[in-house]
Amino acid sequence: MIESSLMRPRHGTPARIPGLVALFLAILAYVVPAHVAERTSEYQLKAAFIYNFANFTTWPDSTFEGEHSPLVVAILGDDPFGSDLDVAESKVTTSGRVLEVERVNSLAALPSCHILYISRSFSHSMSSIADFAKDRAILTITDVVDACDNGIMICFFSEDNKIRFHVNLDAVEDSKLRVDPRVLKLGRAVTGGKR
């Protein structure tokens, strides 16, 4: 579900929200000076995006075992992040949940998760993965650009030496998730399989 106003975190400190919003918008606005980009890897930037997507998405309470359960990011297939995503692990999101990272090599082994990064090694399975995730309130993310045409919610791509992303608005709307609309506006919209 797309929500029209900024969601208030249930467990976070409201005073921290303006600073986090500013940080997230700076990252998503692709304001990465050349000297910083040289020192920052592509997957460090993508890890920062994923962490910030976690901060601006709300999951149904039923997707967590308890009030203090972690927000789980699962990487399906070959892991392009190395230790870059591990840096975000154990950080607390604005909802007050600790981020936890899991790595799996099959959908059958997938733990209960909230964000699913699908590696290129699963590019042939995007439609079935999108169907699997839809009813489970899982935010799906990948580097496979045309995967948004197959129901994946967020698809990273490079343009002008910057990391950008497509957002499948239909997939987000059909999910049980609420993603802050300002985040959705920063991505390039894909609706009905069309950019």
For residue range 18-49, list pLDDT tens digits in order. Answer: 554 555 555 544 434 444 455 578 999 999 99
Strands 71-76, 115-118: pairing kind: parallel
Domains (range + CATH), the chain: 14-190 (3.40.50.2300)
Q: Band of the pLDDT at 145, cuts 50, 70, 90? A: confident
Contact partners, residue 26, CB within 8 Å, separation at least 6: none
Percent over 90 (pLDDT), the chain: 59
**Average pLDDT of span 92-108:** 93
Look up tokens 């359960």; give the residue.
Answer: 69
Q: Band of the pLDDT at 161, cuts 50, 70, 90? A: confident
**Average pLDDT of span 159-165:** 91
